[in-house]
Structure 1
Amino acid sequence: MPEWFIEHGIGETRAALIDGDTILEARILPDGELIAGTILRARLIARMLERGQGIVAWSGGEALVAPLPTGVTQGAETLVEITRPAISEPGKPKRPRARPARPDAREGDAAADLPAGTILRHTDTDRFEAAGWSELLEEAATGHATFSSGALDIALTPAMTLIDIDGTLSPAALTVAGATAAANAIRRLDLTGSIGIDLPGTDKATRTAAAEAINAILPQPFERTGVNGFGFVQIVRPRRRRSLPEIYAMDGALAHARALLRRAERSPGIGERILTAAPAVTGEIESRPAWIEELARRTGTAVVLRADPMLAISAGHVQARHA
């Protein structure tokens, strides 16, 4: 039976719904991540009456609030609830979105964004890796995933996340197999918001079968269109946090740094741990001494960082002084 497992890692918390040796769903919550449902006390710094919106600010950032809080003048403080985290696009930073908080809301409240599950320590059996965690992160970083009869290419665009299907099966068979694989990837990579899947165009019965395959895999809540004659279907899922591909697209070096720390705290051997990675990755770790201290505490040994400009950002590795 599928079971949720939780890891409180260095710099992030991870959750995975694992069934045997397969990750069905996954979430990554970087420390300090702003998620939907968080209640903040903020100051209304701008009113856009023609749009019924405003901008609120607090010590950690700004958000677009809609509708305007009733009876709150510009410059006054008010409680707001985050409805969508900040998800930037290349060259186009976006503020989080918020709404006026409920009358009974309290500052600091936050909706639970982690399922109930078994907490795993770094000394426990690595259930995540046994179920393909590293492969999952590679899919998130590259936007490329394979399935038994084809491949998915996942692209983040300003309008939506797009999934393209490719394979060697007949159009009808690939439509259903591709819809199944895409729905599994949506769950596994925590894709939310507006998602478009481009399937081979084929007959109505096959398009209906593809839609039913999506319905059978994706948990509620979500909405979708039918598969049109061109093979396109749009899915909308509530956006509470950044997806795994968005985390890697927005903060690639930082995401790879946290993944390297995860490998380091589970590395075998004796003596200091030597973490070798691209300068951008080691720089992220060096700028956070608390991470290095926590890794040293968990491994019980010293930590050495080595920057290698010849390494790709994803090619960091860990070695113990004595294997």
Structure 2
Amino acid sequence: MAEWLYEAGIGEARAALVEDGAILEARIERDDGLPRVGAILPARLVEITVRGREGRVAWNGGEALLTMLPAGITQGAALAIEITREAIPEPGRAKLPRAIPAEPGAAPAPGADLLARIGATGFPVRQIRAHEADLLEAAGWSEVLDEAVSGEISFTGGALRMTPTPAMTLFDVDGQPPLEALSIAAAGAVAKAMLRHDVTGSVGIDFPTLEGKAARQAVAAAIDAVLPLPFERTAMNGFGFLQIVRRRLRPSLPEMLRADPAGSEARALLRMIERSPPPAPRHHRVSRRVHAWFAARPALIAELARRTGVEPLFEVI
């Protein structure tokens, strides 16, 4: 039976749904102070962007796009909001969180964290600690992160290239004929990759061009057999393109890791140091960008020292 492995790391929490020694779903929650889905926040309407429908709200330290404006609300009014979609990182800028007005009388709340969310899935949760065997790594944690960063995903008979864009996440299929068998295998691999990397929102898949409606329907059926509802999809068109839409609540793993490469590298190093047999090494040589990232976050260094009993020193390579 599948189970969640959960690790409360330094600077992030990590979880993986594992079955038969392989990761079905990988999740990371960064300790970045950004509001989570379900958070209730006191805010102020700073701009009405579409009269009667949409606006921009702000609170101490953040902004969000607000839909379903309360009737008669005016710019500058205070109101409580509920976050419905977290901020989405993009090159050059980030998409603001989305929110709706909170229910009347709703008290401020942080929203469910990663541990609470995986606990609600019905699968058992095993919390793993740094002094124990590295069950995440044994299941392929590093390989999943490499997939997320590189976008290169292999499957029997072919390969996928996963590319997040501001409009959608794209999957390109590559492999050798016969093309119908390749496309059916790729369809299942794409669906599994979407689950593994928490890819939601709009997703486009570029398959080889297939002749005949039956072949294209077989590819679509292969997606339906793996990807759980709810989602919507188009039929594969004559050029081999198929689109899927899943409700979007937060960034995918590739978006998260690619948006902050220095932070991703630094957090992986923190995990490695914390898991080193005692006494943990004190001196560490890092890139300039990682050194700057650590310098801006002394609380994480202090937490590493608390957990390992060794005050770390980071030096630029």
Query: TM-score when scaled to structure 2?
Result: 0.91
Q: Percent identical across equivalent pairs?
A: 51
Which position in structure 2 is the counterpart of 1:316? Answer: none
Distance across 1 between alignment mates of 2:153 and 2:234: 24
Which position in structure 1 is the counterpart of 2:19? Answer: 19
Distance across 2 between alignment mates of 1:192 and 1:273: 41
Equivalences for 1:1-323 in 2 at 5 Å? 1-31=1-31, 32-50=33-51, 52-103=53-104, 105-111=106-112, 113=114, 114-116=117-119, 117-202=125-210, 203-268=212-277, 270-308=279-317
The code of the aligned residue for 2:196 comes to: R
Distance across 2 between alignment mates of 1:24 and 1:118: 15
- Asked if the contact 2:68–2:100 (Cα under 8 Å) also holds between the matched residues in 1, the reply is yes
Between stretches 229-238 and 190-199, larger displacement belongs to 229-238
CA offset digits 1:202-228 (Å, max 9, x no partner): 132232222222122222322222222
The code of the aligned residue for 2:287 comes to: A
Structure 1 residues 26 and 278: CA distance shift in structure 2, 3 A: same
Which position in structure 1 is the counterpart of 2:122? Answer: none
Tell me by how many angstroms 1:141 deviates: 1.3
SS in 1 for 2:243: strand
Distance across 2 between alignment mates of 1:205 and 1:269: 60
Between stretches 206-215 and 135-144, larger displacement belongs to 206-215
Which position in structure 2 is the counterpart of 1:312? Answer: none
Tell me by how many angstroms 1:25 deviates: 0.4
The code of the aligned residue for 2:2 comes to: P
- Asked if the contact 1:271–1:302 (Cα under 8 Å) also holds between the matched residues in 2, the reply is no
Unaligned runs of 5+ in 2: 120-124
Distance across 2 between alignment mates of 1:210 and 1:262: 40
Superposed structure 1 runs of 4+ greater than 4 Å apart:
none
- Asked if the contact 2:45–2:76 (Cα under 8 Å) also holds between the matched residues in 1, the reply is yes
The code of the aligned residue for 1:224 comes to: R
When the two chains are superposed, the root-mean-square deviation of aligned CA atoms in Å is 1.8
The code of the aligned residue for 1:86 comes to: A
- Asked if the contact 1:275–1:303 (Cα under 8 Å) also holds between the matched residues in 2, the reply is yes
Which position in structure 2 is the counterpart of 1:320? Answer: none
Distance across 2 between alignment mates of 1:112 and 1:226: 36
Tell me by how many angstroms 1:49 deviates: 4.3
CA offset digits 1:226-281 (Å, max 9, x no partner): 22222211111121111111112221211221122112211236353433322111
Distance across 2 between alignment mates of 1:183 and 1:212: 11
CA offset digits 1:172-222 (Å, max 9, x no partner): 111011111111111111111111111112132232222222122222322
CA offset digits 1:81-110 (Å, max 9, x no partner): 112222143234422111111235321152
Unaligned runs of 5+ in 1: 309-323
- Asked if the contact 1:149–1:169 (Cα under 8 Å) also holds between the matched residues in 2, the reply is no
The code of the aligned residue for 2:6 comes to: I
